[in-house]
Chains A and B, each alone.
Chain A
Amino acid sequence: AQKITQTQPGMFVQEKEAVTLDCTYDTSDQSYGLFWYKQPSSGEMIFLIYQGSYDEQNATEGRYSLNFQKARKSANLVISASQLGDSAMYFCAMREGLTAGANNLFFGTGTRLTVIP
């Protein structure tokens, strides 16, 4: 079974609008972490935001927020006030466990976001 599922291969959003990118995860661990990365056309993966499984508050970083719904096992990324520079691939990822060394990330297949002027 896939550990991370991103069901939206592509999304379009109007400039200055908000957009939600979906991510669901599958784990039986109680301790885990969820990440979102952005990959522009240049290819480099850029870390955006992190949510720990024990964090009660949804993570926020500037225009990015993570809508964490533990019971639904979802970790959607919300980008507010979209900008043209937000056009990129977005990957959701999960780390299981907290043991040192056991920190592999499982990645989803990504969502390509296009911001329309």
Chain B
Amino acid sequence: DVKVTQSSRYLVKRTGEKVFLECVQDMDHENMFWYRQDPGLGLRLIYFSYDVKMKEKGDIPEGYSVSREKKERFSLILESASTNQTSMYLCASSPGQGTYEQYFGPGTRLTVT
């Protein structure tokens, strides 16, 4: 079974803090994604990566950055957390061919106070 893990299920941070959200997948997938999920808005893509050290902006990259130094790991960084970044963050991975079905981690519910 594909396994996508995220470093924390729940996280509380203060405004202005630097926040790291880690995601690891064990299926040797080429592609990895970070989404945020807010009620009534569905899932919105923040960043994705289709190879090590490669990254592409999604629909809402402002206030975020990412890092992919190893194929299995994709990190989302909030340089200076703000209250409007309180959300559920979902990581996903997918193979580089086929149906491109995405496999999701359990999510991290981040609260910025």
Contact = CB atoms under 8 A, between A and B. Distances in A.
Interface of A: 4, 9, 33, 35, 37, 42-47, 50, 52, 91, 93, 95, 100-101, 103-105, 107-110
B43 A91 contact: yes
B16 interface: no
Contacts of A107: 35, 42-44
Nearest to B38: A109
B101 interface: yes
14 contacts: A33-B100, A35-B102, A37-B104, A42-B106, A44-B105, A52-B99, A93-B43, A100-B96, A101-B31, A103-B94, A104-B45, A107-B35, A108-B42, A109-B41
Contact of B88 (A43, A93, A110): A43
Contacts of A37: 104
Contact of A50 (B30, B90, B101): B101
B64 interface: no
Interface residues of B, number: 29
Interface string B20-60: 00000000001101010000111111001010000000100
A103 B40 contact: no
Given A42-B106, A101-B50, A104-B58, A109 B100 contact: no
Contacts of B109: 43
A100 B42 contact: no
Contact of A100 (B40, B50, B58, B92): B50
Contact of A43 (B35, B92, B103, B107): B107
A100 B101 contact: no
Contacts of A52: 99
A100 B35 CA distance: 20
A6 B44 CA distance: 15
A110 B35 CA distance: 15
B97 interface: yes
Contact of B31 (A35, A43, A50, A103): A103
